[in-house]
Chains A and B, each alone.
Chain A
Amino acid sequence: MLWKELQAMLTKSQNLPPKAERRTSLAPPVRRADLGKHRQASLRSLKKSAPLLLMAAPGLLFLLIFAYLPMFGLIIAFKDYRAYQGILGSAWVGLQNFRFLFSTQDAWHITSNTLLMNALFIVTSLVASLAIALMLNEVRDTSKILSRFYQSTLFFPYFLSWVIVGYFVFALLNTNSGMVDKILVQFGLPSIDWYGSPQYWPVILVLVNLWKNAGFWSIVYLAGMVAINPEYYEAAEMDGASKWQQIRSITLPLIMPLIIINVLLSIGRIFYADFGLFFQVTHDSSRLYSATDVIDTYVYRALTTLGDVGMSSAAGFYQSVVGFILVVLSNWIVRRVDPDKALF
C-alpha cells in the first residue's frame, strides 16, 4: 500500500501555515549554554528521555521479539532442524537444503510464477486504475450521487477477505454449476474443469487481482488528478486541444511522480506474492500449481503440510535475501527520482 501517499494527504489536510512561518515541527530551539557540562547534561537528558523511552518500549519490544528474533532464525536454512533439538541444538548441514531446493523443478516454477504474475499485476493494475481514475475525473462534477456510487462499488472489493473472494470465484467457475460454466454450456461450448486447468489461471488471477485492488489505486490517482489546477485545462481548451491531448500533456505528466513511486515500490516487492490471492482463490488446487504456486505458497505448504523444514526455510531465506536486495535497490532509485517519497 502506498502509505507515503496517504500520510502526505493527511498532513496536507491540516491547513497549517507554510513552513517558513512555523518553527521546525517538534524541534526545540538550540541553546549554546550547556556545551560545557557534557557528562551531567547527558545523564540529565537520559532522565529527561525516560518517559519517552517508556512510551516507545512496548512497540520496540514487540519488534524485537516478532521481527528481529526471526531474522536470527534464518540460520535454520543451514541446519537440519529437529523440533526436539531446538534451533541451536540442531545440526549444521551447510548448503544442503539449498542444493535440494534448487535441484528440483519447483524452485524454478515458483520463482518464475512469482516474478511473472507480479509483473503482470503491476502493469495491468496501473493501466486499469489509471483508466478508471481518468474516467472518474472526467465525470466528477456532473453528478455527485453517481460519482459516489462508482467510487463505492469500485472500492468495496478491497474490503473483502480473500476467503470471501474465493467463494465469489467459486460461484462463477464451479464446474457444471458455476455461472460462467453455465453460460459456456448455453453457447454450446464444453464445460471446463477450471480448478484443474492451469492454463486459464494467469488470466483469472489478473482479473481477480484487478477486481480487488483497482478501486483503491484509482482513488489514489484520482486524488492526484483532482489536485491539478483547472486553469491548465481551461487554457488547453482555449487552444483547441482535444481531450486525449489534454490527458497526455497535462494530467499524466503531473501525476507521473505518483505513478513512478508506486511502480518502483511495487517492483521492490516483486519477490513477495499475495498469499491470499494465490491460496484462497485457487482453493489450493494442486493441479494448478504449475501456474499458481508461488514462493509464499510453497514455503507455507512445505512447512505445514509436508513438514519439510529444510526446503521451506531455504526457500524463505532465498525470498528474504533477494527481496531485501530488490527493495533496497528500488528505494535507492526512488530516492533519485523524488527524495521525499523514499522510505529512507
Chain B
Amino acid sequence: MLSISARRTGPRRYRSRKSLYRAIIHVVLCLFSLAFLLPLLLVVIVSFTDEKALDQNGYSLFPTKWSLEAYKFIMVDPGQIISAYGVTVFATVVGTIMSLLIVSLLAYVLARKDFKFRKAFSFYVFFTLLFNGGLVPWYILITQYLHLQDTLAALIIPYLVSAWNVLLLRTYFASLPHELIDAAKIDGAGEWRIFFQLVVPLSTPALATVGLLTMLVYWNDWWLGLLFINNPNLVPLQYLLYRISTDIDFLSTNPQTVGLAPPVEAVRMAMAVLAIGPIVFAFLFVQKYFIRGITLGGLKGD
C-alpha cells in the first residue's frame, strides 16, 4: 500500500526537488567561477587605473580614475619586454620540438616488447621518478662543470626529458597493434621509417597532449631563469615579471624614464597583463583539447 502511494507522488515531487537542487548548484558554481576570475579581473582593472588613485584608494574593481599611463610607460621603452618575449618564444618552440622528439623516440623504444633491453632501460628511466640527487648536485653540475649559466641552452636543456612524459607516451605506443609494424617490416621498412611514417601519424592525440604540456612548462618557466640567468638580454618573460615585482628599475633601461616617478604599481600589473594575454588566448583554444584528453576515457559518445 505504502509503496504504491509513494510511486504515485514520488517522481513528481522528486523531479521538482531535483530542479531545485540543480538551481542551487548552478548558483554555487557561478559564485565559485566568479570568485576564481576575480584576481584576473582585479589585475586587469588595476593596470588601467590612475596611479594616484591607486595610492589614495588602493586596488579596487571600481577605480575612481582610469588611465593608460602604465601601458604608455612600457611602450616608451619596450625593449626589455620584447626581448623577454623573444627569449621565451624561442626557448618554448625549440624546447618543445626537441623534447617531443627525444621523449617520443625513447617512449617508443620502451614500448616495443621485442626490444632486447626493454626491462633494463625501463627501470633505468623510471627509477629517476623515485630518486634524484636534489638541487645542489644538479646546480653544481650545470654551472661548474657544464658552464651553462647565462646561455639560452640553460633555458632549454634541463626540461628536455621528463620521465613522466616518457611514461605517458610509452603506454600509448604500447597500445598500438603489433600487426602494423610486422606488416611494415615485411614491406621492407626500416625502424626509423616505421616510427616517423607509421607510428607518429597514428599518435597525434597523445603527442599533442604531451606537446601542449611541454609548451606550458617552457612558457611558464621562471626557475631556470632564476638559477642561471644574469644577462639582461637573456631574461625570459616570467623571470622578468619576477624581477620587476621587487625592483621596478629592472624594467627600464632608458635613462629618460628612470627616476621620472613611474606609475610603479600600475606598471607592474600592466606587465602581468601583457604576460598573461597570450596565455589566456591560447587557453581558450587549447583547454578544449586538454579537457578532452582527460575526459575522453569517461565520455562515451558525448
Contact = CB atoms under 8 A, between A and B. Distances in A.
A62 B133 contact: no
B188 interface: no
Interface in B91-130: 102-103, 105-106, 108-117, 121, 123-126, 128-130
B297 A10 contact: yes
A276 to B, nearest CB: 8
Interface in A152-181: 152-157, 159-164, 166-172, 174, 176-179, 181
Contacts of B192: 51, 55
A55 B109 contact: yes
A9 B25 contact: no
A177 B114 contact: no
Contact of A56 (B109, B134, B176): B109
B168 A49 contact: no
B298 A226 contact: yes
Nearest to A132: B32
Contacts of A9: 293-298
Interface of B: 6, 10, 14, 18, 21-22, 25-26, 28-30, 32-34, 36-37, 39-40, 42-43, 46, 54-55, 57-61, 102-103, 105-106, 108-117, 121, 123-126, 128-141, 144, 157-158, 160-161, 163-164, 166-168, 171-179, 181-182, 190-192, 195, 205-206, 209, 216, 219-223, 227, 238-239, 241-242, 245-246, 265, 268-269, 272, 275-276, 279-280, 283-284, 287, 290-291, 293-300, 302
B124 A63 contact: yes
A36 interface: no
Given A156-B287, A159-B220, 15 more contacts: A7-B171, A13-B205, A24-B113, A49-B117, A65-B141, A66-B157, A69-B141, A135-B25, A139-B29, A155-B287, A155-B291, A161-B222, A223-B299, A304-B227, A327-B131
A262 interface: no
A16 B58 contact: no
Nearest to A27: B113
A74 B105 contact: no
A115 B28 CA distance: 32
A112 interface: no
Main secondary structure of the interface of A (DSSP, over half): helix
Contact of A27 (B114, B172, B190): B114
A12 B26 CA distance: 31
Contacts of B302: 226
A70 B39 contact: no
A22 B177 CA distance: 7
Contacts of B182: 28
Given A159-B216, A166-B245, A211 B36 contact: yes
Given A16-B177, A86-B144, A71 B137 contact: yes
Nearest to A73: B137
A63 B125 contact: yes
A67 B125 CA distance: 9
Contacts of B284: 152
Main secondary structure of the interface of B (DSSP, over half): helix
Name the interface size band of chain A: 35 or more
A59 B132 contact: no
A317 B137 CA distance: 10
B207 to A, nearest CB: 11
Contact of B175 (A1, A11, A152, A155): A11
A312 B132 contact: no
A317 to B, nearest CB: 7
Residue among A1, A7, A62, A275 with the most chain B CB within 10 A? A7
Nearest to A156: B283
B105 A73 contact: no
A181 B43 CA distance: 15
A55 B134 contact: no
Given A76-B140, A156-B287, A223-B298, A167 B245 contact: yes
Contacts of B167: 3-4, 7, 343
A240 interface: yes
A327 B132 CA distance: 12
A71 B133 contact: yes
A299 B134 contact: yes
A171 B131 contact: no
Residue among B36, B40, B173, B276 with the most chain A CB within 10 A? B36
Contacts of A70: 132-134, 137-138, 141
Residue among B55, B133, B178, B192 with the most chain A CB within 10 A? B133
Interface in A233-272: 237, 240, 243
Given A52-B112, A171-B43, A300 B141 contact: no
Nearest to A150: B29
Given A24-B113, A27-B114, A71-B132, A161 B220 contact: yes
A122 interface: no
Contact of B43 (A167, A176, A331): A167
Contact of B238 (A163, A181, A283): A163
A167 B268 contact: yes
Contacts of B14: 237
Interface in A14-30: 14, 16, 22-28
B130 A73 contact: no
A2 to B, nearest CB: 9
A62 B165 CA distance: 14
10 nearest CB pairs, A to B? A73-B137, A316-B134, A59-B106, A70-B133, A9-B297, A161-B220, A168-B39, A51-B191, A70-B137, A13-B296
A138 B22 contact: yes
Contacts of A111: none
A87 interface: yes
A159 B299 CA distance: 24
A107 B294 CA distance: 39
Contacts of A6: 168, 209, 293-294
